Structure 1
Amino acid sequence: MSRYAEAKKKLRGSIAPVITPFNDDYSIDFPSFEKLINWHIEKGTHAISVTGTTGEPSSLTVEERVQVMQAASKAINGRVPFVPGTGSTNHDETLYLTKKAEEMGADAALVIVPYYNKPSQHALYKHFKAVADSVSIPIIVYNIPGRTATNLQPETLAKLSQDCPNIIGVKESNKDFEHVNRVLLHCGRDFLLYSGIELLCYPMLAIGGAGHISATANILPNKVAEIYDAWNEGDVKRAQDLHFDLMELNDVLFKDTNPAPLKAAMGMMGSIKPVLRLPMDLPTQALQDEIRHVLSKYVTLPDHISTN
C-alpha cells in the first residue's frame, strides 16, 4: 500500500480543530493547550488539527504558529493523526509552514485557499501545486469561501488531485451541497471529503465523506466523533439522532464569528480563559447569555465561572 493510500485509510472520522488558548496577557496558554489535546484523545477524537480557522492563525505570528504546531505534535505523541493548518494568504509563508509540518512528522497538512487576494482558479492551481510539490506529506485542501471570498471549483481540485498524488482530500466549509457532491464526482469517490459545516457533518457522510472537522468538537468531542463512529458501524439512526441532537448547540456557536462564541462557551465550562486577540473579541453579553442557556442543556456548568 502506498503512503498516500495508507493516509486515505487512516485520516477518517472526527478531526478536531483545537482552539489556541490565550492567557489574560494574550500570550499562548501552552499548559491549557496540552490539557485540551489530551482531553480530546481521551474522549475519542480520531485526529487533531491546530492553527486552522478555529485556532485563530491570523492572530498568531508565523513563529507562534510553529510553536503551537510543535506543542501539539509533542502532546499528541503519535496517539492519533496530526493535521496542522499551514495555509496563509502569503505563498512563501504557506510553503514554510507546510515544510515545518513535514519536519515535525505531521500526518498531513491542512492548507487553506488564500484569503483576501481572491486569486483566479488558474492561480489557485499554481499555488497548491507548488505547495504539494514542496513536500512529500499528504495535503488536505481547505475550501471556505465564506471567509476567503474565493471558491475553489471542483474541476480545479480534480486537476490538482490528478497532477499531485499527495493532494488526497479537501475540507469543504461550503454550504453549497451540490458543490460538495461534485467534488467526489470529479475527484473520485476515494478522495477524502471532510465537512467543515456543522450541519453537513452527517449529510456528507451519506454521500461518501471521510469525516468532519467541526468546531463543536471543542465542546463535545465524544458526540462529534460518535456521529462518524455510528455511521461507520451502520447505525444510521444513531448518527441521525446525534446530528439533530447537536443542532441547537451548532446553531448558537455560529451566531458570531468562529471561534468567538466557542471560546465564550469553553470559558463557561472552565476549560480555558475566554480570551481572543483583537480584532476578534467575545460576543455581546446578550449572545453570551444565550450561549450559556443552550450550553447548559448539553453540559453541567460550574456556577462560579464567568466570561465577563
Structure 2
Amino acid sequence: MYAKEAKEKLRGSIAPIVTPFMKDFSIDYPTLEKLINWHINSGTHAISVTGTTGEPSSLSVEERVSVMEKAYKAIDGRVPFVPGTGSTNHDETIYLTQKAQEIGADAALVIVPYYNKPSQHALYKHFKAVHDAVDIPIIIYNIPGRTATNLHVETLARLNEDCANIIGVKESNKDFEHVNRVLLNCGRDFLLYSGIELLCFPMLAIGGAGHISATANIMPDKVAEIYNAWNKGDVQRAQELHYELMPLNDVLFKDTNPAPLKAALGMMGAIHPVLRLPMDLPTEDLQREIRRVLHDYVDLPEHVIPSK
C-alpha cells in the first residue's frame, strides 16, 4: 500500500490487539486468530499487533516476527494490517519494519524510542533512517507517558516534509493543544490518530483520521461505531458512544495497560488472563472493580478461564 492509498484506507478504528498467552506463557496463536476474526466481524477497520497493548517488550524479536506473520495470515486481506515495529534499539526497529514489509503489512506503527530519551535531532535521524530503509507507509507513535520523550510538533513537521512515506502519527498525548498543532503544521491530510481513549471522539472533531484504542479489545463494535457515526455526520451518536464508554475506559487504565485489559478479557472467557513478568494482573481489589464495570457492557460467562 503506497502513501496516497494508505491515507485513504487507514481511517477509523485500528484495533491494537493483545498478545494472548497460554498458562505456560507461550504465545496462544489459535486465540490470536479468534480475536482477529472477532474484530473483523465486529466492524474494526484495521488490525495492529505488537504495539503497546501487545506487550512487545515482553516478546523476543523472533516472537514479534512470528506474531506479525500469524496475524497477517489470519487477516487474509480483509482489513489493513498495521503492526507495531518500534523498539528502543535502532537496528532492531529497522529489522522489524523491514520484516513487516516482507510479510505484507500495509503500514508500520513505529514508536518513539523509550528509555534512551533521545534529542529531537536524534529522533529526526532515527525516523528518517527507518523511513529510508523500507517502502511501506509509516505511522509514528508518540506516547510520552511511557517513553519519557515527547516528539515535538516541529520535528514531526520536518519528518513529514522530508519523508514521503511518513503518513501519520498516533498521539497518546494528553496535551490537546499539541495534537491540534500537529494538523496545523503537518497539513490536514496528515493522518492523526488518538491513542488516548477519552480523546477518540474529540480528535475526530479537529480532523483526526481515527483512533488506536485499547478499549477496542473489549468493545470493538462500539469503538468502531464512534468513527462510523462521525463519518456519517451523526455527531450526537458519536458523542453518546463517547460518554457510554467512559467508565470502561477509566477502569481499564487504573493500572498499566494491558494488565486490566487482559484481566477483563479473561473474565469474558476470551483469553487466558496471563502476562509475562515484569507485567502482571491487577490487584484483586481492582479486578473486582473491573468485573463490576464490565457487567454493564457485556454478559460475563459464569465460568471463565482462571488466571492460574
Matched-pair contact (CA < 8 Å) for 1:141–1:167: yes
How is 1:1-12 mapped onto 2 (pairs within 5 angstroms)?
3-12=2-11
Match of 2:242 in 1: 243
Distance (whole Å) between structure 2 residues aligned to residue 55 and residue 173 of structure 1: 16
Q: Could you tell me how far apart the structure 2 residues matched to 1:304 and 1:7 are?
A: 42
Find the counterpart in structure 2 of residue 135 from structure 1.
134
- Is the contact made by 1:275 and 1:282 (CA closer than 8 Å) also made in structure 2? yes
Q: Check conservation: 1:83, 1:109, Cα contact below 8 A.
A: yes
1:230 is aligned to 2:225 = no
1:67-86 matches, within 5 Å, as 67-86=66-85
1:199·1:243 contact (CA, 8 Å) conserved in 2? yes
Separation in 1 of the partners of 2:122 and 2:278?
29
TM-score, with length taken from structure 1: 0.99
> In the alignment, what sits opposite 1:18?
17
What is the alpha-carbon distance in structure 2 between the residues aligned to residue 234 and residue 20 of structure 1? 35
Distance 1:80 1:114 in 2: 28
The CA distance in 1 between the partners of 2:66 and 2:186, in whole Å, is 34
Which runs of 5 or more structure 2 residues have no equivalent in the other structure?
Answer: none
C-alpha distance in structure 1 between counterparts of 2:94 and 2:255, whole Å? 31
Unaligned runs of 5+ in 1: none
- Residues of 1 paired with 2:250 and 2:280: CA distance? 19
2: CA distance, partners of 1:69 / 1:24: 21
Give, in whole Å, the separation in 2 of the partners of 1:89 and 1:3: 26
**Helix, strand or coil at the partner of 2:177:** helix
Supply the AA of the counterpart residue of 1:98: T
TM-score between both structures, scaled by the size of structure 2: 0.99
Name the residue aligned to 2:96: 97
Q: Secondary structure at the match of 1:194?
A: strand
Aligned match of 2:111: 112
Which amino acid in structure 1 is aligned with residue 184 of structure 2? L
Shift of 1:254: 0.1
Give distance in 2, aligned partners of 1:146 and 1:25.
Answer: 31
Partner of 2:273: 274
Amino acid of the structure 1 residue aligned with 2:111: I
- Give the drift of 1:3: 2.6
SS of the residue 1:140 aligns to: strand
SS of the residue aligned with 1:141?
strand
The equivalent residue for 1:28 is 27
SS in 2 for 1:125: helix
Contact 1:143 1:152 in 2 (8 A): yes
**Displacement over 6 Å in runs of 4+:** none
Name the residue aligned to 2:253: 254
Distance 1:303 1:25 in 2: 24
- Partner residue, 2:263: 264
SS of aligned partner of 2:131? helix
SS at match of 1:216: helix
Cα distance between partner residues in 2 of 1:4 and 1:113: 21
Contact 1:268/1:307 (CA < 8 Å) preserved in 2? no
Task: Name the CA distance, whole Å, in 1 between partners of 2:232 and 2:208.
Answer: 15
The structural deviation recorded for 1:307 is 4.2
Matched residue SS, 1:124: helix
Describe the SS at the equivalent of 2:25: coil
Q: Aligned-pair RMSD on alpha carbons?
A: 0.8
Partner of 1:208: 207
Corresponding residue of 1:287: 286
1:173-184 matches, within 5 Å, as 173-184=172-183
1:4 offset after TM fit, Å? 1.1
For residues 127-170 of structure 1, give each alpha carbon's deviation from its aligned partner in whole angstroms, at most 9, with x where no partner exists: 00000000010000000000000000011000001000000000
Whole-angstrom CA distance in 2 between matches of 1:225 and 1:33:
19
Distance 1:177 1:41 in 2: 30
Q: What one-letter code is carried by the residue in structure 1 that aligns with 2:279?
A: M
Q: Secondary structure at the match of 1:110?
A: strand
CA distance in 2: counterparts of 1:307 and 1:222, whole angstroms: 26
